[in-house]
Structure 1
Amino acid sequence: MLLKSLPFLLSLGLLTGYANSYGQAKNCAKNCTCTVSGEIVDATTGEAVAFATVKIIDSDKGVLSNAEGHFEIRGLCVTEVDIEVSHIGYKRIMHHHDIYHPRLQVQLAADEVVLESIIVEGESTGAGLLSLAEVALEGKKLDEVKNKSLGDALATLSGVSTLKTGQNIVKPVVHGLHSNRVLIINNGVRHEFQNWGAEHAPEIDPSLVDKLSVVKGAATVRYGPDALGGVILIDAPPLELHEDWNGEVSLSGNTNGRSGEGSVELHKGFDRTAFFGQASWIQQGDLSAPDYQLTNTGKKEWSAAAGARYHWPHVDLNVYYSHFNQELGILRASVSGNLVDLANSIESEIPPNTRPFSYDINNPRQTVEHDLFKLQGKWNGDHQSLDVQYAFQLNKRKEFDVRRGANNQRPGIDLELISHILEADWKHANFKRWEGNIGVQAIYQDNNNQPGTNTVPFIPNYNVLRLGAYLIESLPIGNNWVEVGLRYDYQNFSVVGREPDNSVYKNELTYQNASFTTGYRWKFSKSKSFRTNLGTAWRAPNVSELYSFGRHQSSIDYGLLRYSISEANLVTTDDILTEEERPVPSEIGVKWVNTYQWKNKFIDAEVTAYVNYIDNYIYSRPGGITQTVRGAFPFFLFDQADALFFGLDVSSTIKHSGKWKSEFNGNYLWARDIENNDNFVALPPVNLAYRISFNTRKLGPFRSSEFTLDLGYTFQQFQAPRTISVRTLLEAKSDDINIFAENAADFDFIDPPDGYFLAGFLWRSTIGPVNTLLRIDNLLNVNYRNYTDRLRYFADDAGINVGLTLSYAF
C-alpha cells in the first residue's frame, strides 16, 4: 500500500511546495530584492581570494570580493542568473545559479595548475550531517589514482584500507569494516551488487569519477541499514549550463602487467540543457611479483557513462546511465588438486602452476556486468527543496572454477540481481532556526541463480523489500551546530533454495529497527574546529551469511544456518538449521567519532578517534580444510559474536615553502571478539605513510612540474589469532586426532606476514596542452605480502611498476 501511494504523495508535496515557493520567489523578483552571495577561495590552498571580479552576465551588475573573499550582489530582479568569476592569475569560471541554493563557494584554480575552477553549493557533507568526519579525494590527487581500482584509490585516504583477493579484486575497508557494513553511494544511488563476497569488488571505474569521499561515521540515518563502518560517496562530473564544448582524452600504460588504458570525456552546456559522456577501457596481462610471474592475473575492462540535465525555473531534471563490464583472472596457484598439494602450495617459495607472461585469462576467473539508470527531479523553492529519484540496477556475475571436462566452460556461480530504488528527500524551510531533511526510501530486489551451472547454488534465490523513513535536523548556535537524526527501517526476505539432493527449502525472514544520531560541531576559530558524532546503526544478516554452501573461487564457505558443531567441536554440514535451532539476530552498532581539525595557510591537520561496539557481529573464520571433487580447499565458517573496534586516524599537510610540501597519514585499529576474548582474522594492521613534494613552475620545456616521493610502512599484525597450518591439520587427520576437541578458538593457516616498507615516485608536469604523469610503485621492488589479501597464503604481492599517463584537456 505504501509503495502504491508513494508516487501520489510525492507529487502532491511537489505541487504544494512549488505553488508556495513560486509566490515567494515572484515577490523577490517583483520587488527587485533578490540576492546572490558567497565566498571565493584558492582551489589549491583554500585561502581567500580578495578583489576577484564577480558579475552577472548580460547585465551591469557586478562586485569585487572583499579582503576575506566574500561577495554579495543585491537588487536583482530575477531569481536565476548566470555569473562569471575572474581574477588575474586564475582560470575564469561561469555558473548558472538560482537564489534558492545556499551561499556559493567559488574555488578558483591558478593558471599554471592542472586543476579547473569549480563552484560548490552548500556546506553539509553528502551524509547530510556536519558533525560527521569526512575525507575526500578530488582534483590532482584523484588523477594520480584513476588507473587503480576503486579500493586502492580510496586506500590513499586516512582511515581507509583494503581487503583483497589478489591485485585485481580490491574492496575498501573503513575503520576495520567492509562489504555489507560500508555503503557505496554512486552518483546519488545506493550501489547494489553481490557485496557479500570478499572476492566481489565494486563495479565502479575510478577513471570516470569526479570526486571520491568517505564519511567515517555511522550514517545509517541518512542512507539506511548497512552503514556501520561508514559511507563512500562517488560523484559523477557536474552538469553545468552555459558551458562551452570541453573534455579530456587520456592514455596510460604500465610495465607490471603490460597494461594499456584509455579514457575520453566530453561536456557541453546550453541555456536550459547540459550533457556529458564518458568511456574507458583497460587490458592487462599477468602481473608479476619481484621473483616470479603471478599466473592468471590478467584483466579486461570497459565502461561508459552518459548524463543529461534539463532546467526549468525552480526545477531540474537529470538522467544518468552507466555500464561496467569486467573479466578478471584469479591466481592459478590458489587452486589445488588434493590436500597434500594444498599444503605444498602454501609452503612453496614459487607458486605452483606458474607460467610465462600471458594476456590469456583462464579459470579460475569471474565476469561482471553492471548497469545503472537514474532519473532524478529536484525542485528548488524558497529556502527549501524536494529531491525525488528513481534508480534501476542490473548486476550480472559469473564465477568460473577449475572443473573437469565440459563443466570447465560452465560458471560455478551465475547470479543476476535486479534492484529498484525509489526515494524522496525534502529539505524543509527553517522552523524556529531548525533546518533539516525529511525523507523516505523504498527498495525492491530480486536475486536469482541462472540455470546451467551443473552445481548446487552457492546461495539461494531471494527477494528483498526494504522500506525506510528518516528525519535529520540541525540547529546553528553562533558558529557552531547541533544535530539530531532518527530513522526507522523494515526489511523482508523471501528465500528459495536447493539442497545437495535437489530438494527445495524456503524461508521468510523479517527484520526491523530504529537508528539515531546526534552530533555537535564546534568552530573555535577560523582555523580550528571539532566535530563529535554518536550514532547507532544496524544490519540484517545477508543471505550469504545465512545460507552460503560450497565452493566460492579460492575457498569454501558455510553460512550460519548450513553447519553445526558437535560436542567434540567437529563441523558437520548435513542439515539446514532453523532460526529456532540457531537464532541469528541483526547486528546493532553504536559508533562514536571525534575529529579535531587545524587548518591555516601553512598546515592542514586532522585527528579522528573512534570507538565502535557491534552486538551480534557476523564474521568469517577459518574452519579447516576439506577435499571435494573440484580439489582441496580451506573452508571458512560464518560465526557471530559481540565485537569492539577502537581506532585513530591522523593526517596532516604542511607547506614548508612555496615549493616544498609534505603529507603524513597514519591509521591504527584495535579490535576484539569480546564475547570469546579472541582476535579476528584479516583486520588491517597499523600503517604509516609519508609524502614529500617539490614543485616548480618551469623546468625546461615543462611547466608546473611536481616531484613526489612516497614512503610507507605497514606493520606486522599483532592482533592475529593462533596459527594452525594445513600441514598440522593433515598430520592430525592421518593420526585420527581431533585438535579442536579442547580448543575451538579461531585460527589462521599461516602467521601474519612481516611488516614491510614501500617507496614510490611520482612526476607530474605539463608540456604544451598535454599533462603527463609518471608513477613508479614499489620503487625498491620489495617482496611482501598483504595481511588483508586472501591470496597471501600462496604468493607475494606485485613488484615494481612504472606507469605513464598522458592526458589532453580541451
Structure 2
Amino acid sequence: MKSILLKRYKLRLFAVIKSFRKPLPWIAIYSLLFAEVAGQVPKACDYEISGIIFDLTSKQPLPFAAVQIKGTNIGTVADEAGTFSIKDLCENEFDLIFSHVGFKKLTHHHDPHHALSKVFLAPENLTLESVIVEGEVVVGDLHSNTVEELSGREFEKNQSESLGDLAANISGVSVLKTGQNIAKPIIHGLHSNRVLIINGGVRHEFQNWGTEHAPEIDPSLAENISVIKGAATVRFGPDALGGVLLINPPKMEIASPLHGEIGLIGKSNGRAGEGSFKLQKGYRKLAFLASGSLTKQGDLKAPDYALTNTGKSEKSIALGTKFHGSHFDMTAFYSRFDQELGILRGSVTGNLNDLATAIGASIPENTADFSYDINNPRQTVTHDLFKLTGELHKENQSFLIQYGFQINQRREFDVRRGTNNQLPAIDLELFTHSLEAEWNHPAWNDWQGSIGIQTVYQDNNNLPGTNTIPFIPNYNNSRLGIYFIESKVFNENTIEWGVRYDYQTFSIRGRAANNDLFTNDLTYQNFSATIGLKKEIKDGHVIRTNLGSAWRPPNVSEIYSFGRHQSAFEYGLWRYEINEANDVTAGRVLTEEDREIPSEVGIKWVSSYEINQQKWQADLTGYVNFIQNYLYTKPAGITQNIRGAFPFFIYDQTNALLAGIDFSSSFQHHEKFTSSFKASLLWAKDVGNDENFVGLPPINLGYLLNYSPQNFGIFLNNHIDLDLSYTFEQFQVPRVIGVDEILAAKENDISLFENNDEVFDFLPPPGGYFLMDISWSFKVKNIPGLGGSIQIHNLLNQSYRNYTDRLRYFADDVGRNLILSVKYQF
C-alpha cells in the first residue's frame, strides 16, 4: 500500500517541478510529500491504555467500574481487582469516562505522555472530587522517601483548620503555635526554616523565621496535602532538614463539564463564619479554575474564660488556566491570601511585677467580654503568588520550565504609647523571583531520572514609618542550585541516588541600636546527597529506606534579630554578648571575627515498613537525624522597657541528635466499622552541651473509630467518627527558673547564671491531656449534591496547654467548639 502511494506521489512531484521550470528545495518537497503520504496511510491500531480504579475514601480497589471512551461505544468493565485495559485503539488521545454506582462520574482527557496509572473515584457523599494519578506516585522524585498523605474524607473533615493544625493529623507531624490562631507544622521535631512548604509546585517564600509566622496558605482551596519525612534537600533545595510539606491544589481537567461547589461553615467557639466556592470548566484544549474563601472570627474561649483579642479575618482567591497541546502543556496560576490575626492581649504586660503575675496565671490579664474587634497586638499579612509553567513532552522524556513570583507583606502591631500605637512595629515586604528547569531524560542503561537547575532571587525591605529599630535588616538573597536524581528498577526493588550543589549569597544592610549603618556580604555553599532503596517483600509489604544529607545556611533573623517580636524579645547571634558573669548584653553588632556562624549540616536516615492489605493498612517509620551547628532559641531572662516587660530569648548553636518512631494503622472490622491508630515518639538532645531543648513535641497517641451506616432517615452515606487523643507531659525538659526567682535575684543583686549557664524554662511543662472529638457527615436524600457535617471538638471541654505553644505561659488552649458545615456540589 505504502509503495503504491509513494510511486503515485513521486510522479505528481516531477510534473509540478517541470511546470515551474525552477528546482524547488528538495528538503521542503520531500517534507510535504511524506507528510501527505503519512496522512493517507491508515494509522496502526495498536495503542493500549490500562490502569487501576480505587475508592478515594478507603484507597481499596473498586471492582466492576465502567470505562468508556467518550463519543464512542468502545469501553470495558474493570475486573474484581479494579484493573482495566482497552486494546487495539487507533487514537492515543481521547476523553475517558469512569463510572460506578454510588460514586461520582469522572471525565478525564488522556494523552500518551501521561501514563494512566491510578483512578480514584469519590463516593457520592464526599465533597472532594474524583481524581486521576498519572504515572506512579513518586513524591519528590524518590521512591524510597517515606511519604504520608492526608486526603479523602479525613482531609475534607479538617479542611477549615489552619495549615499547621491540618498537617498535624498526619503521623509524625505536630504543630508549633503562638496562641490560638498562629500555627505552623513540625516534622520530626523541626519547624520553620527546616520544613519546606511547596505550594502547587512553588516553594512558599515568606517570613518563615519566627514562631509567630504561620504560612499564608488557605488549605480550604487545596485538594490534599503530603508530607515527605526524609531530608529532601536534593530535589527541593536547602532547608529541608526536617522534611517537606506539599500542598496540592485541585487539578485542572481538560474536557470536563462546568462543576463546582459552595460551602458554608459556622463555629460556636469564636462565633466564626466561613464561606468558600470553587468553579472548574474544561474544553478540548483549555481548562479553567476559580476558587475563593472568606472567614470572620471573634474572640475564642478557653473552658473557663475568654481569650481576649484572638479574633481573625481571612480572605483568599485563586485563579488558574491550562492549555493542552499535543506535545506541550502550559499552566498559569494566581492566588492571593489576606489575613489579620489578633494575639492574646494577656501576653503583654506593663512591668516586671505584672509579668510575674501573668506567667502561669489562672486567668490571663486584660481579659474582657467577647468581641469581633482585633486590637493590638495583632498582625496583618498578604501573600500573592503567580506561577507560569510550561511542559514539553517527547517520547520517553519531558522538559519542564517554571517561573514563580511572590510578594509577602507583613505588618506587626504592638501595644505602644500615644500615636505610635497606630503604627506597625514591624513592616516588611519580601519579593521573590524563582526560575527552575528540569529534564526528565530517557532511560540510560535502565537508569531513569532527572537533571534540574533552580534559581531564586529575593529582596526583603523594612518599610519606613515604624519609629523603631528594624527587627531584622534589609537584605538581598540569591541562590543557584543544580541537582541530579537517578533510579533503577531490578526485580521487585528500586535503588536510587541523588546529588545537589547550592551556592547562596546574602547582601545585608541594617542599623544598630545607636542608628549607625552596618553592611555585610555573606556567602554559603554546600553539597547534599541521598541514596535509597525501595523493596517489595511480598504482596502489599514494602520496605523503604533512605539516607540523605541536608544543609541550611543561617537565616538573617538568626544572625541579626534585635528587639521585641510580638510577645517576646529576641536577639540574634550577632546582636548580643555574654560577659564573665554570664549576663546577656545587647548593643553593638558583631561580625564573623567575633563569632563564626557556620551552616547547619544534617544527616537523616529514615526507614519504613508498609503493609497494604484489603482490610488492614499499617506504616511503621523510624528515623535518626544528626544536625551539626544546629541553631535554636533559648530563654535568657526577662527585660523591661517603655513597651512593657517581656521574657527574652537568644539564639545559640550546638550539635543536635533527634530520633523517633511514627506508627499509623487502620483496620476494617466490618463493612460499617473501621478504626485507625497513630502514635509519635520523639527523643532529642543537645549533644554538644548534654542538655534538653525547650519546646519539643511530647508523645502523642490517637485513635479513631468510624461507623458508616448506609441510610438514616432522609440522610444518606452517613459517617460517624469518634476521635480520641492523648498527649503526654513532656519529660525531656530543662531546669525551671521562674520570673519570681529572676526578680528576687535582681533585687538582691545576685547573678543566677554566673556559675550555671545551662538552658532553662520559665515554667515546668504542662501536664498531659485527653481530648475527645465527635463528628457526623451525611448526604441529603433527594437533593443531589447537598451534604453537610456536624463536629464537636474538645467534647469534654478539657482545660489544657500545649507544650509547643509559645503562649502557654499565659493562657489555656481553646475549649469546646461546635462546627456546622454545609456544602452543595454541582
TM-score, length-scaled by structure 1: 0.95
The answer as to 2:501 corresponding to 1:488 is: yes
Secondary structure of the 1:791 match is: helix
What whole-Å deviation, never above 9, does each CA across 1:118-168 have from its counterpart, x for those lacking one? 211122333111110111111211111111110000001100001100110
For residue 29 of structure 1, report the CA deviation from its aligned partner. Answer: 9.2
Matched to 2:474, the amino acid is: N
Secondary structure of the 1:638 match is: strand
8 A Cα contact 2:561 2:571, kept in partner? yes
Secondary structure of the 2:496 match is: strand
Length, aligned pairs only: 787
8 A Cα contact 2:175 2:183, kept in partner? yes
The answer as to 2:309 corresponding to 1:303 is: no
CA–CA distance in structure 2, aligned partners of residues 144 and 386 of structure 1: 37
Structure 2 equivalent of residue 423 of structure 1? 436
Structure 1 equivalent of residue 353 of structure 2? 340
8 A Cα contact 1:29 1:78, kept in partner? no
CA–CA distance in structure 2, aligned partners of residues 165 and 649 of structure 1: 25
The answer as to 2:91 corresponding to 1:78 is: yes
1:534-613 pair list within 5 angstroms: 534-613=547-626
CA–CA distance in structure 1, aligned partners of residues 597 and 112 of structure 2: 51
User: Higher mean Cα deviation, 645-654 or 429-438?
Assistant: 429-438
What whole-Å deviation, never above 9, does each CA across 1:384-419 have from its counterpart, x for those lacking one? 111110000000000000000000000000000000
CA–CA distance in structure 2, aligned partners of residues 745 and 28 of structure 1: 82
Structure 2 equivalent of residue 641 of structure 1? 654
CA–CA distance in structure 1, aligned partners of residues 131 and 245 of structure 2: 22
8 A Cα contact 2:635 2:761, kept in partner? yes
For residue 231 of structure 1, report the CA deviation from its aligned partner. Answer: 0.3
Structure 2 equivalent of residue 683 of structure 1? 696
1:651-662 pair list within 5 angstroms: 651-662=664-675
Secondary structure of the 1:204 match is: coil
The answer as to 2:530 corresponding to 1:517 is: yes
8 A Cα contact 1:626 1:635, kept in partner? yes
Mark the runs of 5 or more structure 2 residues left unpaired by the alignment: 1-34
CA–CA distance in structure 2, aligned partners of residues 622 and 170 of structure 1: 21
1:279-290 pair list within 5 angstroms: 279-290=292-303
CA–CA distance in structure 2, aligned partners of residues 347 and 698 of structure 1: 50
The answer as to 2:818 corresponding to 1:805 is: no
Matched to 2:70, the amino acid is: I
What whole-Å deviation, never above 9, does each CA across 1:543-573 have from its counterpart, x for those lacking one? 0000000010000000011111112211111
CA–CA distance in structure 1, aligned partners of residues 816 and 52 of structure 2: 45
Structure 1 equivalent of residue 183 of structure 2? 170
CA–CA distance in structure 2, aligned partners of residues 360 and 756 of structure 1: 31
The answer as to 2:777 corresponding to 1:777 is: no
8 A Cα contact 1:28 1:79, kept in partner? no
User: Higher mean Cα deviation, 736-745 or 423-432?
Assistant: 423-432
For residue 76 of structure 1, report the CA deviation from its aligned partner. Answer: 3.0
Structure 2 equivalent of residue 5 of structure 1? none
User: Higher mean Cα deviation, 370-379 or 110-119?
Assistant: 110-119
The answer as to 2:444 corresponding to 1:444 is: no
The answer as to 2:491 corresponding to 1:478 is: yes
User: Higher mean Cα deviation, 356-365 or 79-88?
Assistant: 79-88
CA–CA distance in structure 2, aligned partners of residues 578 and 46 of structure 1: 55
8 A Cα contact 1:394 1:416, kept in partner? yes
CA distance 1:293–1:321, shift in 2 (3 Å):
same
CA distance 1:581–1:27, shift in 2 (3 Å):
farther
Aligned counterpart for 1:193 among listed residues 206, 218, 224: 206
1:587-736 pair list within 5 angstroms: 587-736=600-749
Mark the runs of 5 or more structure 1 residues left unpaired by the alignment: 1-21
CA–CA distance in structure 1, aligned partners of residues 43 and 760 of structure 2: 74
8 A Cα contact 1:758 1:780, kept in partner? yes
Matched to 1:798, the amino acid is: V
For residue 86 of structure 1, report the CA deviation from its aligned partner. Answer: 2.7
CA–CA distance in structure 2, aligned partners of residues 770 and 94 of structure 1: 21
The answer as to 2:422 corresponding to 1:409 is: yes
8 A Cα contact 1:35 1:99, kept in partner? no
8 A Cα contact 1:403 1:630, kept in partner? yes
1:84-233 pair list within 5 angstroms: 84-111=97-124, 113-233=126-246
CA–CA distance in structure 1, aligned partners of residues 41 and 679 of structure 2: 51
CA–CA distance in structure 2, aligned partners of residues 414 and 802 of structure 1: 36
Secondary structure of the 2:419 match is: helix
8 A Cα contact 2:125 2:778, kept in partner? no
8 A Cα contact 2:307 2:344, kept in partner? yes
The answer as to 2:250 corresponding to 1:237 is: yes
8 A Cα contact 1:243 1:270, kept in partner? yes
8 A Cα contact 1:112 1:697, kept in partner? no
8 A Cα contact 1:332 1:364, kept in partner? yes
CA–CA distance in structure 1, aligned partners of residues 724 and 357 of structure 2: 34
What whole-Å deviation, never above 9, does each CA across 1:510-531 have from its counterpart, x for those lacking one? 0000000111011112211110
Matched to 2:289, the amino acid is: F
8 A Cα contact 1:598 1:604, kept in partner? yes
Structure 1 equivalent of residue 24 of structure 2? none
Aligned counterpart for 2:344 among listed residues 308, 314, 331: 331
8 A Cα contact 2:513 2:588, kept in partner? no
For residue 174 of structure 1, report the CA deviation from its aligned partner. Answer: 0.3
Matched to 2:299, the amino acid is: D
CA–CA distance in structure 2, aligned partners of residues 469 and 460 of structure 1: 29
Secondary structure of the 1:394 match is: strand
Aligned counterpart for 1:379 among listed residues 392, 406, 413: 392
Secondary structure of the 1:407 match is: helix
User: Higher mean Cα deviation, 761-770 or 252-261?
Assistant: 761-770
CA–CA distance in structure 2, aligned partners of residues 146 and 89 of structure 1: 24
CA distance 1:219–1:347, shift in 2 (3 Å):
closer
For residue 89 of structure 1, report the CA deviation from its aligned partner. Answer: 4.3
For residue 194 of structure 1, report the CA deviation from its aligned partner. Answer: 0.1
Secondary structure of the 2:97 match is: strand
The answer as to 2:501 corresponding to 1:501 is: no
User: Higher mean Cα deviation, 303-312 or 80-89?
Assistant: 80-89
8 A Cα contact 1:29 1:79, kept in partner? no
8 A Cα contact 2:233 2:528, kept in partner? yes
Q: Which has the larger radius of gyration?
A: 2
CA–CA distance in structure 1, aligned partners of residues 751 and 688 of structure 2: 24
8 A Cα contact 1:257 1:288, kept in partner? yes
Secondary structure of the 1:524 match is: strand
CA–CA distance in structure 2, aligned partners of residues 661 and 745 of structure 1: 48
CA–CA distance in structure 2, aligned partners of residues 497 and 356 of structure 1: 42
CA–CA distance in structure 2, aligned partners of residues 514 and 732 of structure 1: 48
CA distance 1:139–1:67, shift in 2 (3 Å):
closer
Matched to 1:583, the amino acid is: E
For residue 382 of structure 1, report the CA deviation from its aligned partner. Answer: 1.2
8 A Cα contact 1:415 1:448, kept in partner? yes
Secondary structure of the 1:696 match is: coil
For residue 115 of structure 1, report the CA deviation from its aligned partner. Answer: 4.8
CA distance 1:128–1:773, shift in 2 (3 Å):
same
CA–CA distance in structure 1, aligned partners of residues 588 and 259 of structure 2: 61
TM-score, length-scaled by structure 2: 0.94
User: Higher mean Cα deviation, 340-349 or 738-747?
Assistant: 340-349
Aligned counterpart for 2:808 among listed residues 759, 780, 792: 792
The answer as to 2:778 corresponding to 1:765 is: yes
1:257-276 pair list within 5 angstroms: 257-276=270-289
For residue 67 of structure 1, report the CA deviation from its aligned partner. Answer: 4.1
Matched to 1:632, the amino acid is: A
User: Higher mean Cα deviation, 65-74 or 754-763?
Assistant: 65-74
